[in-house]
């Protein structure tokens, strides 16, 4: 429950320096009691990142962008963080400095971690389907949560979704189509997007579905500009 979840009181209060040491500014001794600042903000988030296949595959493709996985299971979060540390070491500190994973409930406190319009991409890959109607409120795509994603994404930013469960695919499309801050990304653009291939082929779930010869439903949504105040 929430009392075991750690979350900052605001995005400014979050100390990211231990997650991205290579992207941290040196602070002078007088400043050492202050939070160390990152040279750039986290811009890409993988919600429910599981074992981190997407993060690890995207990190070398987007070497100057900070990527963050959010995962609710403590042991899985630790596994991903340790995998990233090992990869940094194997690559003599030159790669994977831009990836990290934290334990968080993505359904709660998202605005505590990210400022308005901070993110350029949000990934929702093979989220838990919660088939039963009484469990639908646990789905990671909902009217309320979509507003939080819209808040954190900058105009032009992309929300990526993929699932092998057709009913969940329809649910996500229905809720995102209905949201005034999102528009569907056309098919030709989806096909050209490098990140889509990673989402299909490098996530643990994507690999499992491929082994079982299952279908993968991909839909991308663009965060549109807010209308001017009337
Ligand atoms: N995205 C990964 C992939 O494609 O291989 C993992 C998919 S797995 C089916 C769903 C993951 O979401 C699990 O690791 C689960 O622990 C995590 N999860 C479920 N609810 C969550 C929440 N509210 N906040 C963060 N992670 C969550």
Flag whether pLDDT at 186 surpasses 60. yes
**Whole-number CA gyration radius for the chain:** 18
For 6-40, give one letter per residue: b (16+ CB within 10 A) or e: ebeeebeebebeebbeebbeeeeeeeeeeebebee
Q: What is the mean pLDDT of residues 162-191?
A: 97
Cβ atoms of residues 152 and 216 within 8 Å: no
> Model-level pTM?
0.95
Rounded to the nearest angstrom, the distance between the alpha carbon of 47 and the centre of ligand 1 is: 7
Give residue 204 CA to ligand 1 midpoint distance, Å. Answer: 11
Does the Cβ of 126 fall within 6 Å of ligand 1?
yes
Which atom of ligand 1 is least distant from the CA of 127? 10
Residue nearest ligand 1's atom 11 by CA: 48
Q: Is the pLDDT of residue 214 over 90?
A: yes
**Any atom of ligand 1 within 6 Å of the Cβ of 45:** no
Tell me the best of 4, 5, 6, 48 to mutate to test the pocket of ligand 1, counting ligand atoms within 8 Å of each CB and taking the most. 48
pLDDT tens-digit readout, 3-54: 578 899 999 999 999 999 999 987 656 655 666 789 999 999 999 999 999 9
- What was the pLDDT predicted at 230? 67
pLDDT higher for 230 or 157? 157
ipTM: 0.99
């Amino acid at each position: 429950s929430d009392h075991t979840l750690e979350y900052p009181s605001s995005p400014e209060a979050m100390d990211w320096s231990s997650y991205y040491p290579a992207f941290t500014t040196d602070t002078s001794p007088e400043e050492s009691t202050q939070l160390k600042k990152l040279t750039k903000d986290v811009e890409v988030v993988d919600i429910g990142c599981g074992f981190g296949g997407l993060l690890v595959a995207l990190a070398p493709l987007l070497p100057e962008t900070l990527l963050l996985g959010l995962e609710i299971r403590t042991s899985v979060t630790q596994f991903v963080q340790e995998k990233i540390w090992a990869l940094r070491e194997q690559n003599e500190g030159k790669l994977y400095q831009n990836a990290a994973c934290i334990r968080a409930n993505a359904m709660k406190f998202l605005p505590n971690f990210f400022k308005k319009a901070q993110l350029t991409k949000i990934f929702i890959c093979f989220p838990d389907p919660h088939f039963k109607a009484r469990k639908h409120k646990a789905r990671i795509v909902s009217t309320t949560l979509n507003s939080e994603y819209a808040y954190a994404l900058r105009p032009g930013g992309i929300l990526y979704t993929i699932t092998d469960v057709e009913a969940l695919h329809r649910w996500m499309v229905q809720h995102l189509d209905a949201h005034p801050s999102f528009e569907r990304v056309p098919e030709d653009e989806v096909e050209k997007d490098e990140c889509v291939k990673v989402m299909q082929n490098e996530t643990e779930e994507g690999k499992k579905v491929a082994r079982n010869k299952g279908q993968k439903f991909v839909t991308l949504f663009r965060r549109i500009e807010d209308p001017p105040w009337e």
